[in-house]
Structure 1
Amino acid sequence: MRQYWRGVMEHLESHPLFAGVEPGVLQGVLEQADRLEIAKGETIYQPKRFRRCLGVLLQGQVQVRREQLLVSVLEQGDVFGAAALFQMAQQYPTTLKALTPCTVLLIPQDQVRKLLHESGAFAENYVVYLSGRIHFLSRRLDTMCASSSQIRLAQYLLTAQDEKGDVTLSATQLCQRIAVGRATLYRAFEALEEEGLITRDGKTIHITDVRRLGTYANL
């Protein structure tokens, strides 16, 4: 196996989706996969141009949009493509665009099927991954349907907080996450601060009362 494939192999062995997969099985799959270098600004997937592959972002950031709606921003280690893998729709539901230079691994459908058949660990990991995606998209839909920017911000903070109740993002990133402009975001900040629900220190937002913020966000 070439040197760069050994690096990819090591990356996947530490990835939650491939944890516990037998090295021989994983190596055989990698030999059939494609490793792509994507330039900043290049479109990776779009509704009428995509591949029935499971993608793993090895390096970089990728923006995911459905028409004008920002769905998410993929980071290193994130997975994409499951929506087109085992169904016959002729269009992919979102557009994926590289925000930075990216390295992407594309695992063909038949190789994913091989993993599901030959590795119980991968099958279980894949179910966990799909369950997580369903939960994420459900919460994302709740956020997008919220009646005000303050509620959308509150809902996002509750889903993104760490164990300390903190969320660290730039204003630009947060605007992208909840699909509002900068002025609207700052008004939402002020509203939540006036309610005593959050405090801010630079890029870090601290939730001061999770229970009250949940009530405010209708959760």
Structure 2
Amino acid sequence: MDLDKFNYPRYLSTLPLFSSMREDELKHLATGCHLRRMERGKLIFRAGEPCNEFHVTVLGQVKLFAISPAGVEKVIELCGPGHSFAEAVMFMGAPYVVSAQTLTDSLILTVDKEMVVSEIRQNPDFSLRMLAGLSRRLHGLIKDVEGYALHSGVQRVIGYLLGDRMNESEAASEAITVSLPVSKASIASRLSLTPEYFSRVLNELETAGLIHVDKRDIHITDTARLANYQPR
């Protein structure tokens, strides 16, 4: 991809946050954007650094993570293409509370705070969409806490593999393939599991005939059966 030819307004219009903005508004917002190519393993920002912008993963995968006092890493969120992050912290005027690192070669779009604030002052509809986006993020974090507190490790893995299908009680049975976008260790950390336990759960589901693991491809033979699986 030639970054000099990247169409910022067109890309911004594909994001839920900006999809209803007029062309002139998108062009104005685009003046506060820039792109970075980042190799795998590069830090986008560190916890404690000033936050004067938010970011969008255009291509690749990014992890948001924290380090415990004991030096243990906890993955907070995995951000794939089209996923924005750090909006809430930007508005708080506080430093980053987590760090962000690329898990693959990535293309990162950064949006300047001052340009976003300028649009909020001029466009009430944009303010409402920004609030809606932050509310969805908060709702997702609440669901995460509920999952860690109420669901077993097996249920968390099944929920991750099935995604939205997990909430479709009358969904038709189907065979699908889920390709893990990042390493099993990163996904395990995201689910608050050890890599060893995550692998044991996959082995258990494979032994039960519910999935077939082929490196990072997880072939699910019957989504309904997997959703209703009860470990022994």
- Range of TM-score over shorter length: 0.7 to 0.9
- Number of the residue aligned with 2:212: 200
- Number of the residue aligned with 2:160: 156
CA RMSD for the aligned pairs? 3.2
Shift of 1:170: 3.6
Distance 1:212 1:121 in 2: 42
Structure 2 unaligned spans of 5+: 68-72
- Number of the residue aligned with 1:143: 147
Deviations 1:65-110 (A, max 9, x none): 1221112221121111113111133x31211001223322222222
Q: Which residues of 2 match residues 105-144 of structure 1 at below 5 A?
A: 105-144=109-148
Check if 1:46 corresponds to 2:46. Answer: yes
Normalising by structure 1, report the TM-score. Answer: 0.77
- Number of the residue aligned with 2:90: 85
Asked whether the 8 Å contact 2:41–2:103 carries over to 1, the reply is: yes
Asked whether the 8 Å contact 2:48–2:97 carries over to 1, the reply is: no
Asked whether the 8 Å contact 2:162–2:227 carries over to 1, the reply is: no
CA change 1:22–1:96 in 2 (3 A) is same
- Number of the residue aligned with 2:66: 66
Distance 2:17 2:180 in 1: 29
Identity percentage of aligned residues:
18
- Number of the residue aligned with 1:176: 186
CA change 1:86–1:183 in 2 (3 A) is closer
CA change 1:40–1:170 in 2 (3 A) is closer
Normalising by structure 2, report the TM-score. Answer: 0.73
Aligned residues: 211
Structure 1 unaligned spans of 5+: none
Residue 100 of structure 1 aligns to a residue whose secondary structure is: coil
CA change 1:181–1:172 in 2 (3 A) is farther
Distance 1:9 1:40 in 2: 27
Distance 2:101 2:182 in 1: 17
Distance 2:37 2:139 in 1: 30
Check if 1:188 corresponds to 2:193. Answer: no
